[in-house]
Every structure is written in C-alpha cells, then in structure tokens.
Amino acid sequence: MKIVVLTGAGISAESGVPTFRDADGLWEGHSIEEVATPEGFESQPKLVQEFYDARREHLVGVQPNAAHIALAGLEEQLPDDLLVVTQNIDDLHERAGSRNVIHMHGELNSAWCRACDRRTHWTRTLVDFPPCPGCGATELRPDVVWFGEIPYQMDRILAAVAEADLFVSVGTSGAVYPAAGFVQQALRYGAKTLELNLDPSEGSVWFHESRLGPASVLVPSWVDDVLASQHL
Ligand code: BV8
Ligand code: ZN
C-alpha cells in the first residue's frame, strides 16, 4: 500500500513551533508580503534575514513530538511505501528518524547562494550576509520557497500523489497552494483520503474521513491501525 503523508505547521505545534495562522502565529506582526516574498527580501533584506534567523535559533530548543516519531516508526515498517511531503521548514521529521521526506517549501537549516546557486547546511545567522563557503559572495538567502516562487521537487511529489493508495493530511489549514490541491489530485487517481487535524480545514470536503484532535494523539493511533491492517 503506497502512502503519501502531507504535513503542515500543526504537526510541529505541540513541539513549540508556532503555526502560521493561529492566534500567536508566525504571521502575527509580519505580513506575508513583508517577510515571505522575493520582493520583501529585496526591499527589507535585514528584516527578512532576522525573521528566519529567529526561527532557526528557536529550532535548537524544540524536540520532535509523538506524531513525528510515529511517522518515523511507520517508515521503518514500510520503507518503500511511505513518503512524507512537508510544508514545514523545521527539521523535526528528520530528527525523529524519518528519511523519505520532501521539504517542498525548503529548510531553515540551509542557506542558498544567489551568486553560485550552491546550497549549504546552515545553522547560524544570515543577517550580516556572511560570505558563501563556495564562491565567497555575500549573496546568501534562506533556502525557503517564498510566495510566488515554485515549490521544490514538484515532479516527484505529483508522481507519488498519482501512485498513492492512501493520502493523509496532518496539521494543515489547506490555505496555501499547490500543497492544498494535492488531495484533489490524489482523489482523481483513486486514492483514499484521510485528514488528521485539530480543526476542520479549508480542504476538509475532499477527505473521505476527517479525524479532529491533536496530532500527537491522532497520528500514533492511525499508525497503529495501519500496522495492524498490514499485520506488521
Ligand atoms: C506558487 C515557506 C506557482 C516560508 C511557505 C490565489 C488562489 C490560490 C493560490 C494563490 C492565489 N494567489 C497566490 C496563490 C499562490 C500562493 C498561495 O497559495 N497563496 C495563498 C495565501 C492564497 N502559493 C504560492 O505562491 C506558492 N507558489 O504557487 O508557485 C506554482 C503553482 C503550481 C505548481 C508550480 C508553481 C508558494 C507557496 C509557499 C510559500 N512558503 N513557507 C516560511 O515558512 O516562512 S507557505 C507556509 O504557509 C507553510 O509552509 C505552509 O504552506 C503555510 C502555512 O499553512 P499550514 O502549515 O497549514 O499552517 P497554518 O497555521 O495555516 O495551519 C495550521 C493547521 O494545523 C490548522 O488547520 C490547525 O487546525 C492545525 N493544528 C494546529 N495545532 C495542531 C493542529 N493539527 C493537529 N495537531 C495540533 N496540535
Ligand atoms: Zn556562492
């Protein structure tokens, strides 16, 4: 059984990573246009670097939760059949042990050089525009996908969604495209669709089943169901 799991900020909420739209969400105090668009970076580079530097620093103090850990455990049992596609730029899936992970919106712990196109694992700050380890240019930006930019690995993602027998969405409001459109594609290719979310999302109508509650509870119990059904 081929499974694609799409995750959003809600899966990392219980680890202490703020979501986007919740009351004290990331967008509070910052307009999307200001901090998450190429235009915003052109006009206020230091503000944007500081926004991502703060999130990168905050990442050090948080840990994967039971939802991340359960998905990593499922991958161990179904190594060739489970793909996690995440909209999150945190590294909690990997720190929980997941390997088959696509960061369609990029990663906080990566810097991208606009001069030589090199991507470098990066855990420090970028606000002082340090030189690129490859070419020395001071053209490093956060390796994240901003609004108006094309998400990463779309071909691999769409191929996996077309192959999926089961499409599961965890902790996402379904407000940002193209991620919010994957469930409709999965349905079109005949997949069963399941939503695990604290609240109903903008895409709830597209799911055969929606289970409402915290990811740290819903994901482990769903994983137990899958393993039981696979007699694993
Ligand atoms: C593109 C990286 C062309 C940076 C991000 C008009 C209509 C339709 C689309 C558009 C439109 N105008 C413009 C667009 C396109 C635009 C878009 O969708 N805009 C929206 C605002 C309308 N999209 C783009 O620009 C994308 N690029 O379209 O290129 C293209 C198209 C197709 C194919 C090729 C090319 C690029 C978008 C990527 C932007 N970058 N992140 C950063 O992180 O700073 S988006 C960012 O916001 C996240 O990555 C994520 O995608 C989104 C936030 O959503 P969620 O993760 O879902 O978080 P949210 O807070 O909203 O919700 C949390 C959910 O969790 C809630 O439902 C809550 O109930 C639940 N929850 C909370 N706690 C828990 C929980 N669930 C379980 N347990 C809990 N404990
Ligand atoms: Zn460079």
Ligand 1 pocket, 158 CB below 6 A?
A: no
Q: Torsion angle, CA of 194/197/200/206, rounded to 10 degrees?
A: -20
Q: Which of 11-15, 29-33, 58-62 has the lowest mean pLDDT?
A: 29-33
Q: Give the pLDDT confidence score for residue 119 in this predicted structure.
A: 98
Q: Alpha-carbon distance 111 to 114, whole Å?
A: 10
At 48-67, the pLDDT tens digits run: 999 999 999 999 999 999 99
Mean model confidence pLDDT for the chain: 95
Instruction: Pick the residue whose CA is nearest to atom 66 on ligand 1.
Output: 173
| pLDDT classification of 22: cutoffs 50, 70, 90 | low
Res 31: pLDDT: 82
| DSSP states along 184-210 | HHHHHTT-EEEEEESS--TTGGG-SEE
Confidence of residue 27 (pLDDT cuts 50, 70, 90): low
Whether the CB of 65 sits within 6 Å of ligand 1 = no
**Does 217 contact ligand 1 (Cβ within 6 A)?**
no
pLDDT band at 20 (very low <50, low <70, confident <90, very high): confident
Render pLDDT for 79-113 as a digit per residue (tens, 0 to 9): 999 999 999 999 999 999 999 999 999 999 999 99
Overall average pLDDT of the 153-174 stretch? 98
Coil, strand or helix at 214: coil
Residue 66 beta carbon below 6 angstroms from any ligand 1 atom? no
- Residue 23: count other Cβ atoms within 10 Å of its Cβ: 7
Ligand nearest to the CA of 132: 2
User: If you average pLDDT over residues 209-229, what whole number do you get?
Assistant: 97
Gap from CA of 137 to ligand 1 centroid (Å): 31
Closest CA to 86 of 214, 206, 179: 179
Please report the pLDDT score of residue 222 as a whole number. Answer: 98
Whether residue 224 has pLDDT greater than 90: yes
* Inter-CA distances, 28 with 20, 110, 200, Å: 8, 24, 21
> What is the model's pLDDT at position 43?
95
Is it the case that residue 33 has pLDDT exceeding 70? yes
Cα 94 to the center of its chain, rounded Å? 11
Active site residues: 105
Share of the chain above pLDDT 70, in %: 97
pLDDT (0 to 100) of residue 26 = 63
Q: What is the predicted pLDDT for the residue at 24? A: 57
Confirm or reject: Cβ of 203 under 6 Å from ligand 1: no
Q: Is 5 helix (H, G, I), strand (E, B) or coil?
A: strand
Contacts of 30-35 spanning 24+ positions with Cβ under 8 A: 32/147, 33/147
* Residue appearing with tokens 């919010």: 180
Cα 174 to ligand 1 centre (Å) = 7
Give, using CA atoms, the residue closest to atom 41 of ligand 1. Answer: 105
Q: Mind listing the pLDDT tens digit for each residue in 104-148? A: 999 999 999 999 999 999 999 999 999 999 999 999 999 999 999
- 144 near 105, Cβ under 8 Å? yes
Measure 142 CA to ligand 2 centroid, in angstroms. 13
Of all ligands present, the nearest one to the C-alpha of 130 is 2
Identify which ligand lies nearest to the alpha carbon of 106. Answer: 1
pLDDT at 230 over 70: yes
